[in-house]
Every structure is written in structure tokens, then in C-alpha cells.
């Protein structure tokens, strides 16, 4: 494992401190929705405006983030770094993937449907299960199939109340 384990609490503490408009997506979001998948990094989707890029750059500096094989002593995010739509970084909060493109859903809908969660003392913005299903379905990668299965199970778990009298496992 390269660098510290993923720490969404530390990541969002920095994002919040700098006022970044961003949403946690990907495998870590699947995990936090109830999945048992293990992931090495945290995927972040964000509002792509000049102002938000600058705030994101500030937050990444707080986390000492940089591309894995970046040789210069300092690195600061530039919009050109995300021309491919994706950027992988190491940081004091663990590995971060910045996603400038996310097939299946626009950022507006992703942000609007996101959930507010607390992790420790930190406020975290977590993509909804439905949004993640849209993204994973559109990506169509082999590894997303397992995540889709977990997301559908997580959704079913939420829809089936533990107090359901017809549920012999969790019901009264």
C-alpha cells in the first residue's frame, strides 16, 4: 500500500476548510453505504468552476497532495492537470482520485442528491446510492459489477425496514 490508508475524515476536513464543492463517489462511497468492499483510494467529483478549482487546489495543498511520481518539491493543482478527466494523487489523507468527468450523471444532480453524513467531527458529502448506480452502470467496467451488486443490496437493506413485521430475521 502506497502512503497512509484512505482517511475520508481528513480529506473532507480539508475540503470543508477551503469551502470546496465536492462529493465522495466510487468504491469508498460504496463502502460507506454499507458495502464490504475494500478500497485503497477515495474518488472525488467536484464542481468544475474556476473558483472551485482554486479552493480544491488550496485543500490539496493542505493535504500535501501530489501526483505519485511528481519530482519537483511543490505541486499545486492546475486545471490542465485534469484534461484527461482523471488525476491520481497521494496525500496525507491517503490516495485521492479527482474525477473531472463522471459518465452517467451531471455534477448538479450528483450534488443535489448527495447525502450529508458525519464522520467523527467532520461533515462529509456522500453520493447517493442511486447516483452511484448511475455512475457505475455507465462506466461498465468489470470491477464495477461487484460494486453494483453491493449498491443494490445496500438499497434493498434500506428499503426493508428492520422493524418490518414480515421480516423474520429483524422484525419483532
Give the binding range for other proteins (CB under 8 A) out of 61-69, 98-106, 130-138, 159-167: 159-167
CA-based nearest residue to 81, from 104, 48, 126: 48
Q: Which of 40, 68, 83, 138 binds other proteins (CB under 8 A)?
A: 40
26 near other proteins (CB under 8 A): no
Nearer to other proteins, 100 or 119 (CB): 119
Give the binding range for other proteins (CB under 8 A) out of 56-64, 66-74, 136-144, 146-154: 146-154
Residue 85 gets the label, from left (phi > 0), alpha (psi -120 to 50) or beta, of left
12 near other proteins (CB under 8 A): no
Residue with cell 467523527: 120
Interface residues for other proteins in 78-137 (CB under 8 A)?
117-120, 124
Dihedral sign computed on CA atoms, order 11, 12, 15, 18: negative
* Pair 97, 86: CB distance under 8 Å: yes
CA-based nearest residue to 20, from 50, 56, 45: 56
CA-based nearest residue to 107, from 19, 18, 10, 20: 20
149 near other proteins (CB under 8 A): yes
Give the binding range for other proteins (CB under 8 A) out of 5-13, 14-22, 58-66, 81-89: 5-13
145 near other proteins (CB under 8 A): no
CB-based contacts of 154: which residues, under 8 Å, 6+ apart?
30, 33, 34, 35, 129
Q: How many residues bind other proteins (CB under 8 A)?
A: 35
Q: Which of 16, 21, 32, 54 binds other proteins (CB under 8 A)?
A: 32
The residues of the shown chain that bind other proteins, judged by CB under 8 A, are: 1, 3-9, 31-36, 38, 40, 117-120, 124, 149-150, 153-154, 156-158, 160, 162, 166-170
Amino acid at each position: 500500500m502506497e502512503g497512509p490508508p484512505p482517511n475520508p475524515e481528513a480529506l473532507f476536513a480539508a475540503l470543508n476548510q477551503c469551502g470546496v464543492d465536492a462529493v465522495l463517489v466510487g468504491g469508498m462511497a460504496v463502502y460507506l453505504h454499507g458495502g464490504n468492499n475494500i478500497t485503497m483510494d477515495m474518488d472525488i467529483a467536484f464542481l468544475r468552476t474556476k473558483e472551485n478549482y482554486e479552493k480544491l487546489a488550496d485543500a490539496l495543498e493542505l493535504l500535501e497532495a501530489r501526483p505519485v511520481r511528481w519530482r519537483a518539491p511543490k505541486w499545486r493543482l492546475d486545471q490542465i492537470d485534469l484534461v484527461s478527466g482523471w488525476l491520481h494523487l497521494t496525500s496525507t489523507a491517503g490516495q485521492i482520485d479527482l474525477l473531472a468527468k463522471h459518465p452517467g450523471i451531471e455534477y448538479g444532480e450528483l450534488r443535489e442528491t448527495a447525502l450529508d453524513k458525519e464522520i467523527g467531527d467532520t461533515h462529509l458529502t456522500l453520493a447517493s446510492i442511486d447516483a452511484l448506480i448511475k455512475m457505475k452502470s455507465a462506466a461498465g467496467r468489470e470491477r464495477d459489477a461487484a460494486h453494483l451488486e453491493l449498491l443494490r443490496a445496500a438499497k434493498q437493506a434500506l428499503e426493508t425496514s428492520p422493524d418490518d413485521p414480515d421480516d423474520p430475521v429483524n422484525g419483532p
